[in-house]
Structure 1
Amino acid sequence: MKQKQQAAKPVILLNIDSLMPHSLETAAQTGRAPALKFLMENGAYFHNMVSSFPTMSVTIDSSLLTGTYADKHHIPGLNWFDNCRKEIFNYGTGFRETFRLGLRRSVHNMLYRLNNEHLSSDVTTLYEDLAAKGISSASINSFVYRGNTPQRLHVPRFLSTLTRFKNGKWTTDTTSIFSLGSFSRLRPRGFTLQIAAGNYKYTAKELRHLIRKNKLPGFTFCIFQDMDARLHLKGPGYIKGIVKIDREIQNILNMYPSWEEALKQNVWMVMGDNGHAATGDKYREFMIDLRKILKSYRIAKIQRPVRKKDQLVICVNQRMAYIYILDDSLPKSTLVQQLKNDNRIDIIAWKDNGNIRVESGMRGGSFHFSPNGEYKDVYDQTWNLEGNLNLLDLDITDDKRLYYRDYPDALARIRSALHSHAGRFVIVNAKPGYDFKAQSTPKHLSGAAHGSLHRQESLVPLIIAGTAEKPVGSRLIDMKEFILRLCMSEQE
């Protein structure tokens, strides 16, 4: 008679915002992150997982949870323009920009529309797929949370007037166990100093609560968000944040008889979502003001509705930007020619008669590509290629194998951003050290920034402990299939 099957052990994924391979390795090797070192030494470590593009949190989390790039899940970035509604959508890029766009609108976009309207219904999230298999899940501190369990959330009373929710309450579909700062807490007496989401201590306390109460579901996703803001100010060499978060992970592991026992009872994964590129300290040199480059055009102002006479809308995602062309009589080539005059812009890309065309302010020539061709890359994707390969730092062997260097999975990621939403627009990417600026966008001088296609922001670490299983690929979009496989596996 067949033995009764037991469900696979719970899977816990800890996402440390802006965790980078070099910083993680330095902290572990110097003894400042003993918990992370233990997981690395007792599991598998990958230093080069490829993130999505743009390398901004909501796009990355959407890719992780749907297993697709932005051309499928339709979250183009933290800041983008909907050509159909003639509306800029911003999920919180900085106080000045958010304030000018309208605080009530931005909060509504972040808390509700992101999951209930913008995240495509043509794709399913990891949470939805797990629920269809009868496996519960938890989301702690993630703004991308779509599941299939209706939850009644609320905004603290003193903030309710800043939202579009009646009486500050709304219903949305989340995971069966859901925590998001002041809006939904697992601990009845839990408290967070941060309004929009919990800090790293809050996240750790919520996870410890689930472990203490023996309520861990099949899959738990936790985000530690604090480090990103510090890196913007202090630069990519900042390690103190890793040390603080590691202490919280130690406290979590200490809840078990031993750390080894923690691995026997659960699968533990730790990952970063994006890296950071160090930025220069001289404003005129290192800030690329797109309004000045394109000053001959009528650029929409973010504090008012887009007008018929406006020719351009600019949406900056730190070191990457979307430039939307509203004037049908304005050719993309004219705009591109002006952008090429700035040698701080390393990639300019747009859709061109079924192809993707790439030019640069740093290098001469042009490059075209499209999918389903004779060249196969390291991810088994095939492409048609024509032009100057150096524009994307590509390498091709005699047997038509394609390799990426400075821009990992560049072809698929550029194509996904260009097909992530409707409209006539051009993508620009800044070379390392430089940051884009438009109206009221945050500056990151003498610190660090992300958003671009470059490997500094695109390659993130992943630790897997408590299982011998591994993802089939080295991209964050491969994680959904891997987690599903772990959660659905059974043991004798």
Structure 2
Amino acid sequence: MNLQLKKTLMTFVLLSLTLGCGQQSDEPKEADLSRLHALSDDRTKKVILVVADSLLSRAIEEGIAQNKLPTFEYLVKHGQYFNDFVSSYPTMSVTIDSALLTGADPSRHRVPGLVWYSDSERRIVTYGTGSFETVKNGVQPVFLNALLHLNGRHLSDRTPTIYEDAAKLGLSSGSINGLIFRGTTPHTLSVPVWLQEALAVPGEAEVTGPDFLALGTFSNPLEGKVDLPDGAISRLGMNNRYSIEVATFLIKNGSLPDFLFVYLPDLDSRLHNKGPSDLKGVQDVDRQIQALLQAFGSPEEAARKAVILVMGDSGVSQVHPRTVDSTVPLHELLGQYRVLQFGGSVTEETDLALAVNESMAYVYKLKSEPSLRDVADVLIADERIDFASWKEDGWIHVVQGGTGETLQYRKGGSVLDPYKQAWTVEGNPDVFDLRVAGNSLSYGDYPDGLQRLYAALHSHEGEFLVVNAKPGYELANESSPTHPGGGAHGSIYKTDTLFPVIVYGTDEKPDNRRITDIKPFIMRLLASFSS
């Protein structure tokens, strides 16, 4: 889970402690388990997808070299290891997870970032950033966005999730702590009494999800069966131990669905605080993956009964220390304009709105003037800005920070990239570190950059810029959380983009190494196992 989402959960906890902590019912919730038992077929091979938030290739390789990661070493040796899968953009959890579980990029799944501006509602939408921003934006709407609206309203119904597609095949599925969980089976999310009082939200909410849905304290199908860490001091169950204990229970009790998603959120916060060189969190993940394998009896038995994918979701960049001005205050750079304050309301006088996603930001034009190019020119004068980009008349315009060099491109044309995507490119290809030779195009520092930037610029309605910081820097508004000396992501740059994938239990592999290629790969496996 993104560090900011975890901070938001802690904000909910801290606000609610002043009202006292009530208890939820101890009555076991049997429906999900009964459903899995009814659907289970031990003769078919299962697929388990384990996502360790911010797991890095560098950490795996260094940890194995230092003999600190025996489980990862085993999986790499006996499975397939890829260290260069390409994430979604912006490289923030909700956008990434939407791409992973729908197989679509943001231009189709329509979840633009952790923070974005809704043109139709004339307000900032956030799923939880820092505690200060959460309080300013309103704790209740942030809570409802993250728990209900992300799946219920914002994720496009034109992009089916893996849970919805599995149901069409008559296959069972489950999600443990996944942020994107939309499916076809009705579930009731339960809000603890103490949190209901703190946030003035209903005690229950009806959602649809996979056959088995475990979401911290809000949906605990093992309540009364397993003592899971899902209280206030355990981030309401959004932690690795909860996820692994639920997964191992399903394996040991013969209740494993055909597809199971397991989300491990803990590593991300360590890397934000310590930076990408930290190995302690990866060692914890190594032990947790070992526990999952041993739940089958042995790693060999695990490979016989399941295909297990262990992956990160994006990269992490080292942020410069505060002494080198690592934070780029967009609201100050744009001080000549009337910028919407976080948590404020749009008026006729408001010129711009900011939605900051760590090293990436959307800058929205709310009046006829200034032009997007005018705003871009102000921003790129700061050498910490990598580029600013906007769409206009079917073209994507990119202007480079510091130099003012430009690139324009559009879909279609005679130039093909490594993914067989066709483009027309004009201007200076160095702006986006492109290598163009004849009718072939390859990427350097911005993997799959043309499509990923296009997708971000077509992810939602409105007139806006996409702004990217240079490596080592973060963007900010007046209340953004920052990580000087630690780690961050959000940008399209390769250090924020590339992540590892391990495939264990099959010789099959995805067609391409992008996050959007993982769902089709899993569906292909599921179809072959059930035929």
Structure 1 residues 323-374: Cα deviation after superposition (integer angstroms, max 9, x where no partner): 0010112211211111121111112110121100000113332110001111
1:345 paired with 2:381, answer no
Aligned to 2:207: 172
Asked if 1:127 is matched to 2:163, the reply is yes
Judged with a 3 Å threshold, the aligned counterparts in structure 2 of structure 1 residues 466 and 198 are, in CA distance, closer, same or farther, namely same
| CA gap 1:283/1:144 in 2 versus in 1, 3 angstroms | farther
Q: Which residue of 2 aligns with 1:287?
A: 327
CA deviation profile, 1:17-45 (whole Å, cap 9, x unmatched): 00111111111232211112111111111
- Does the CA-based 8 Å contact 2:228-2:237 persist in structure 1? no
Q: What does 1:23-172 correspond to in 2, within 5 Å? A: 23-163=59-199, 165-166=201-202, 168-172=203-207
Q: Which residue of 1 aligns with 2:456?
A: 417
Aligned pairs, number: 486
Matches for 1:257-272 after TM superposition, within 5 Å: 257-272=297-312
SS at match of 1:131: helix
User: Within 5 Å, which residues of 2 pair with 1:175-186?
Assistant: 175-186=210-221
SS in structure 2 at match of 1:490: helix
Instruction: Provide the identity percentage.
Output: 38
CA distances 1:394-422 after superposition (whole Å, capped 9, x unpaired) = 00123x21000100000000000000000
| Paired AA for residue 205 in structure 2 | W
Distance in 1 of aligned mates of 2:370 and 2:236? 40
Once residues 134 and 60 of structure 1 are traced to their aligned partners in structure 2, the CA distance between those partners, rounded to angstroms, is 27
Which residue of 29, 53, 78 corresponds with 1:17? Answer: 53
TM-score, normalised relative to structure 1: 0.96
> Which of 307, 315, 318 in structure 2 is aligned with 1:278?
318
Q: Partner amino acid for 1:154?
A: S
How far apart are 1:283 and its partner, in Å?
A: 5.4
Contact 1:299 1:312 in 2 (8 A): yes
- Which amino acid letter does the alignment assign opposite residue 347 of structure 2? R
Give the corresponding residue for 1:238. 278
| Superposed CA offset, 1:78-128 (max 9, x none) | 000001100111001111111110000000000000000000011111110
Residue 476 of structure 1 aligns with an amino acid whose one-letter code is I
- Secondary structure (helix, strand or coil) at the match of 1:143 reads coil
Q: Partners in 2 of 1:224 and 1:435 — Cα distance? A: 25
Match of 1:385? 425
Distance 1:209 1:6, change over 3 A: closer
**Distance apart, 1:197 and its partner CA:** 4.2
- Unaligned stretches of 5+ in structure 1? none
Q: Offset of 1:443 from its aligned partner?
A: 1.0
Aligned to 1:472: 511
Q: Which amino acid aligns with 2:73?
A: K
Corresponding residue for 1:426? 465
Amino acid at match of 1:187: L
* Letter of the structure 1 residue corresponding to residue 397 of structure 2: R
Letter in 1 for 2:379: L
Kindly provide the amino acid, as one letter, of the partner of residue 329 in structure 1: E
User: Which of 310, 334, 337 pairs up with 2:374?
Assistant: 334
Decide whether aligned partners of structure 1 residues 52 and 208 sit closer, same or farther in structure 2, where only a CA change above 3 A counts.
same
Residue 406 of structure 2 aligns with an amino acid whose one-letter code is S
Counterpart contact for 2:337–2:352, Cα < 8 Å: yes
Provide the secondary structure at the position in 2 that maps to 1:432.
Answer: coil
- CA spacing shift, 1:8–1:391, aligned 2, 3 Å: farther
Q: Which residue of 1 aligns with 2:355?
A: 315
Amino acid at match of 1:190: L
